[in-house]
Amino acid sequence: DAGVIQSPRHEVTEMGQEVTLRCKPISGHNSLFWYRQTMMRGLELLIYFNNNVPIDDSGMPEDRFSAKMPNASFSTLKIQPSEPRDSAVYFCASSIAGGFRETQYFGPGTRLLVL
Amino acid sequence: AQSVTQLDSHVSVSEGTPVLLRCNYSSSYSPSLFWYVQHPNKGLQLLLKYTSAATLVKGINGFEAEFKKSETSFHLTKPSAHMSDAAEYFCVVNSGAGSYQLTFGKGTKLSVIP
């Protein structure tokens, strides 16, 4: 099993540019999560999809952030326009189901630096 | 509401000595509890999880944790530290009640001294 795949692994961009992060969940998993990790706030859930449908996006910081899941094997997180305070590590995770006993499997993360 | 407190932000042990990483939680329901490990510049890897079966949970790489409801604790232990255990460890709680939400502790950085 390839695990959760994220791309790019590193991204350096300038303030105001659009950033797109990509995620391929584990095959057969129907739940997908996007998290952000910063030193100040730790790990925060941004958005949760179940069967490709956004269930909870209350963690999305503001309208500059958007996420899509067009099919069961692909999701994107987009930031437009990006700001320096968006610099963080963004993780994608997937699980077989969204239930509380299910393990979430994390990807390696995308390290984003906005200058 | 659910929360998790990792009592130490940094723990340092000598190679070959025991490891104890402490975690306390609060939850309105019977929780699921997890320990994840994050090596530098890597993603989070599941070490072990508790989901209301045996209170002593064995994980990968020789780690184990004991769920103590009376103490609301889920401490992570390992009898003998190895250099490769140096990483950051996260205690995570899910309060159940149909929730998918994980609440992460702030992490404990484990250093292993040769």
Whether the CB-CB separation of B77 and B19 falls below 8 Å is answered with yes
At residue B23, does pLDDT exceed 70? yes
Task: Output the pLDDT for position B98.
Answer: 60
SS3 A1: coil
Residues in chain A with CB shorter than 8 Å from the CB of B51 are 101
Q: Which of B34, B99, B107 sits opposite A42 (nearest CB)?
A: B107
For residue B1, pLDDT beyond 80: no
Question: In A, which residues are within 8 Å of B106 by CB distance?
Answer: 42
Q: What's the pLDDT band for A113 if we cut at 50, 70, 90? A: very high
Cross-chain Cβ contact B41/A43 below 8 Å: no
Q: Is A31 on the interface with B (CB under 8 A)?
A: yes
Q: Record the tokens describing residue B90, joined without a space.
A: 């996260």
Mean pLDDT of the region A74-81: 97
Q: Per the CB < 8 Å rule, is A101 touching B32?
A: yes
Which residues, other chains included, contact B114 with Cβ-Cβ below 8 Å and sequence gap of 6+?
B14, B15, B83
Kindly indicate the confidence band of residue A115, based on its pLDDT and cuts at 50, 70 and 90: very high
Chain B residues whose beta carbon lies within 8 Å of the beta carbon of residue A104: 102
Biggest distance spanned by C-alpha atoms of chain A: 40
Q: How far is CA A95 from the centre of its chain?
A: 14
CA B17 to chain A, closest CA, distance in angstroms equals 29
Q: Each residue of A35-67: pLDDT tens digit?
A: 999 988 889 999 999 999 999 898 998 889 999
| Interface residues on B facing A, Cβ-Cβ cutoff 8 A | 32, 34, 36, 41-46, 49, 51, 90, 94-102, 104-107
What are the pLDDT digits (tens) for B51-95?
A: 877 889 999 999 999 999 999 999 999 999 999 999 999 999 987
Chain B nearest C-alpha distance from A60 (Å): 14
Q: Which of B32, B100, B109 best tests the A interface by mutation, with the highest count of A CBs <10 A?
A: B100
- At residue B52's C-alpha, the angle toward residues B47 and B93, to 5°, is 55
Q: Do A100 and B44 touch (CB under 8 A)?
A: no
A91–B102 CB contact, under 8 Å: no
- Percent over 90 (pLDDT), chain B: 72
Predicted confidence band of residue A100 (pLDDT cuts 50, 70, 90): low
